[in-house]
Amino acid sequence: MGLKACTSEFILGDDRMKILITGANGQLGRELQKQYRDIEVELILTDVKELDITDVTAVNEFVSKNKPNVIINCAAHTQVDKCEEQIDLAYKINAIGPKNLAAAGFAVGAEIVQVSTDYVFNGEGNAHLTEFDNANPQTVYGTTKLHGENLVKEFNPKHYIVRTAWLYGDGNNFVKTMINLSKNNSEITVVKDQIGSPTSTVDLAKVIIKLVDEKNYGLFHCTCKGECSWYDFAKEIFRLKNIDVTVKPCKTEEFPRPAKRPKYSVLRNYMLELTTGDITREWQESLKEYIENLDI
């Protein structure tokens, strides 16, 4: 089923504010739609059926016709293990797609938001990673996302590149996976030697909207505050849901996967701190709100 654009008017002088959201059926795309309902804008919503971002002709024609003021690219190939096999597809979606959107946006004077990832780092250190640290991806997914960042920078100076991690919202995610597993298992084994920051789409969407509103261009990290392991994350999920299940810790090596996982990829929202202000919450607070509203 195709998406229907949610339209309302927001007058800027004689112009109507138009925001194109690609990947609008994803977790972040859905949350952006929800939050923009309280702000009078015209949303142009697309997913792959409405707009294939890897098709340069289709992108140029669509953007030229609709003339958005802002493009928020939530479309991505995020299945990190499949990216190791589907290398060409990963490059098309994660690098060429953002390039197409950035260039088409530049032609009509549109800004672009490109959502990126902690996988652009090697995940081998033990210090919080800022926007000023050197990227060194170890996977096809991380490599293609970093190329996407660089191509957006190259083709559109009015860009917001926002790196996030461990995202959950309205869609398939770790929180729902854990809860569903607990329905048929009294014991669940979860990795304890990978550290990151669980991040709610609510917090991420608020930051993106704020950046666009303030025209604060550049590269930003945006995760909820604090850090934990996947094991700690699972334990907190079950505590908040009052689910009685045994969680056993394990090492990454016990569950080998095609794509290397970062051992430590805690992002510090340093550019937010230095500029517009970091409005994200502690990860436990955001998770509590999410679970309270979760109907599973």
Q: Is residue 290 included in any domain, yes or no?
A: no
Give the other-Cβ count within 10 Å of 183's Cβ: 9
Q: How many domains does the chain have?
A: 1
- Six token digits for residue 138: 């170890």
Residues with catalytic roles: 141
Q: Is residue 243 included in any domain, yes or no?
A: no
List the CATH number of the domain containing 88. 3.40.50.720
Q: Is residue 149 included in any domain, yes or no?
A: yes
Q: Is residue 5 included in any domain, yes or no?
A: no
| CA angle (276, 282, 284) in 5-degree steps | 155
- In terms of pLDDT, which residue wins out, 104 or 4? 104
Q: Is residue 15 included in any domain, yes or no?
A: yes
* pLDDT beyond 80 at 80: yes
* pLDDT beyond 80 at 133: yes
Q: Is residue 24 included in any domain, yes or no?
A: yes
Q: How confident is the model at residue 3 (pLDDT cuts 50, 70, 90)?
A: low
d(CA 71, CA 74): 9
Mean pLDDT of the 106-118 span: 98
- pLDDT tens, 181-208? 999 999 999 999 999 999 999 999 999 9
- pLDDT tens, 23-60? 999 999 999 999 999 898 999 999 999 999 999 999 99
Range of the domain at 150: 11-171+197-227+265-281
pLDDT recorded at residue 120: 98
Q: Is residue 4 included in any domain, yes or no?
A: no
> Residues 6 or more apart from 260 whose CB is under 8 A from it?
123, 138, 139
Q: What is the pTM of this model?
A: 0.94
Q: Is residue 185 included in any domain, yes or no?
A: no
* pLDDT beyond 60 at 135: yes
d(CA 128, CA 196): 10
* pLDDT beyond 50 at 13: no
Q: How confident is the model at residue 295 (pLDDT cuts 50, 70, 90)?
A: confident
pLDDT recorded at residue 1: 36
